[in-house]
Each structure stands twice: as structure tokens, then as C-alpha cells.
Amino acid sequence: MNLPIRPRRNRRTAAIRDLVRETELTAAHLIYPLFIHAGTEDQPIESMPGCTRWSVEGLVREAGEAHKLGVPAVVLFPAISNRVKTRDAREAWNAKGLVPRAIKALKAAHPTLTVITDVALDPYNADGHDGIVSDEGIILNDETVVALCKQALCHAYAGADIVSPSDMMDGRVAALRAALDKEGYKDVSILSYTAKYASAFYGPFRGALDSAPKSGDKKTYQMDYANAREAEREAMLDEAEGADMMMVKPATPYLDIIQRLRHTTTLPIAAYHVSGEYLMIKAAAKSGWLDEKKIVLETLTGIRRAGADMILTYFAKEVAKWLK
């Protein structure tokens, strides 16, 4: 054939493919979500095979190993005993609570590790919702935002580097920024869950924390998965309210949202490869149907290619090991 243009020339050798590769996946792009509990044992999580509910001691060890492999940041999710769950979720800002203890232990052991905390009431709420629920079953936006500010301050006092509101209440980013600044925490960043969809992919996570809503669903605050323009609206608001970084969640069914936001914001974008996405790969790998390592690297590279700067993934430590 008389073909002056042959794209295959750029794929001819491994060296040329390296030269022309457009997207990089390294451990430096990963954030490792870790589950913790108040007990002294490290417990395997039934709903999420391969994940552990760590004691604070176990957490420090696991985070240290990941950090040594090049993972720069962890995000903490606490499993809270039912005994201390209340309808006002006040355990969320207990200065002696599990999360502040974990933050202090991590910062003491690994000063260069970036510690991110989740800001939302669901692990502490007897109703299992991210917001405070009225007697009539309504999620109270403005009352919840007041509680979230107390929770974020509690994390900042303990030494959190980044607070990450995952609750989807309106106006929480501006309120958190004002509360943090007023208390002198001008350097604590806000990673906002900007486009968090009401998703069945969170099921295993709620099993891990025993945090499923006691009644109703999360559709009055988390977004309808049929909507994309609405994500841009949330992104404009979060940017104006002072978010430092924004997040899209889940990741793989929402690559178009990541790409859209990449074009509409100059803020860094995180994508959360959530529990259900993790388990789909784990299950297929366990049956011998898919090659876990290859599938994970392709999936995470695809999320980066769509426009994510960073990825929250339960595979973080494993990936860092593979990339060494």
C-alpha cells in the first residue's frame, strides 16, 4: 500500500511507545482509603475481601508500608460502635474520638504522610445518613453544615492536612473554609466531593462501616446518576466557595464527568474508585476470569487519562508495589 501516514510506526518498539505515552500512572497519584475501628485487633472486612478494619496500631503500620512504597496520602474511614451513635452524631467531633487519635498517631509516626479525613456524619449517625435527620425524616441541610464544621475543626486540631466533605450538603465548602480560617487553620485544605452520585457501587463500603441508612436512600443529597450538567453546577459552586480540590465519585462509570470537569475547572481533580468497583475486579480475578494486576493498571490509567490528577483506590498499596 502507498501509505505515507502509518500510526503503527509510533507503536513499533517499547522504547518508542514509552516516548509517546500520554498518561502516566505512578504511586504519587494515589490516595489509600483505610478503615479503622476502636478495637485492638485488625479485622478482615467481610463485605470487602482484601480490606481490613485496622486498629490504630495496625493503621500506622499499614499506612507506613504504603508510604514507603511511594503513596503520599491516606484517607480515614472510622467504624463506630453502635453504642455511641446518636441522632445528632455528636461523636463526630469528640476530640478524644477514634479519628483524632488515629490522625495524631499517623502524624507522629509518619510526618511526611498526608492525612485526609472524611467529613460526613454517617458513621456516627444513628439514622445512618450523612446529614441530621428530622423527626419527619427530612435531611436538615443547614443544621448538618454546623455539625460538619465542628467535625472538620476536630480533625484540624488533631493535625489533619486535608478535610474531605463527602456529605453533599449545600454550602458546606464555604462554611468549612470560614470555620477553619476563623480558628487559624488557613493551611488545612478542602478536598470536596463535588460530584458524588447516589450509587449502588457504595454497598460494600456501607457493610464495612455498618453505616447503611436506616430508612430511605441518599437521593435527596447525592446526585442522580443520569445527570452531567448538574456536576458542572456543583463544580462552579465548590470552586467559588473555596474548595482546593474536587472529587468525582464513583470513577469508572463516570469518566465522562471527570472529563467534563477537567474542562470546566482549573482545580485538581480526584476520582474515587469505590468499593463496588474494587470488588468487581476482585471477584473476577478470584474466579480466574481476569488478570487482576493488568485490569487494575488499565482501569486506573483510564481514570487518569479521563483527567483525574489523583485516584482514591483500595488497590493503592498493591499498585505502588507493582510499579516499583
Q: Which residues does the annotation mark as catalytic? A: 196, 249
Residue from 32, 35, 197, 202 binding ligand PBG (CB under 6 A)? 202
274 binds ligand PBG (CB under 6 A): yes
Q: Do residues 35 and 45 lie in contact, with contact meaning Cβ atoms separated by under 8 Å?
A: yes
Q: Quick one: which segment of 53-61, 93-101, 116-124, 142-150 binds ligand PBG (CB under 6 A)?
A: 116-124
- 194: which 3 cell numbers? 463535588
The Cα 180–Cα 174 span in angstroms is 10
For residues 141 and 324, what is the distance between their CA atoms, to the nearest angstrom?
A: 45
With CA atoms as reference, report the closest residue to 123 among 220, 225, 207, 245: 207
Return the number of the residue (62 or 122) whose C-beta is nearest ligand PBG.
122
Our finding on whether 118 is near ligand PBG (CB under 6 A) is yes
- Dihedrals phi, psi of 299, to nearest 5 degrees: -65, -50
Binder among 30, 71, 106, 120 for ligand PBG (CB under 6 A): 120
Which range of residues in 93-101, 199-207, 239-247, 259-267 is near ligand PBG by CB under 6 A?
A: 199-207
Q: Is there a contact between 244 and 267 (Cβ–Cβ < 8 Å)?
A: yes
> Nine-digit cell at 233?
453546577
The footprint of ligand PBG on residues 211-250 (CB under 6 A) is 218
Taking the least distance from each CB to ligand PBG, the nearer of 87 and 264 is 87
91 binds ligand PBG (CB under 6 A): no
Rounded Cα–Cα distance for residues 217 and 222 (Å): 9
Residue 109 vs 212, nearer CB to ligand PBG: 212
Residue 189 CB coordination number (10 Å): 18
What is the total residue count of the chain?
Answer: 324
Is 52 a binding residue for ligand PBG by CB under 6 A? The answer is no
Interface residues with ligand PBG (CB under 6 A)?
118, 120, 122, 130, 166, 202, 205-206, 218, 274-275
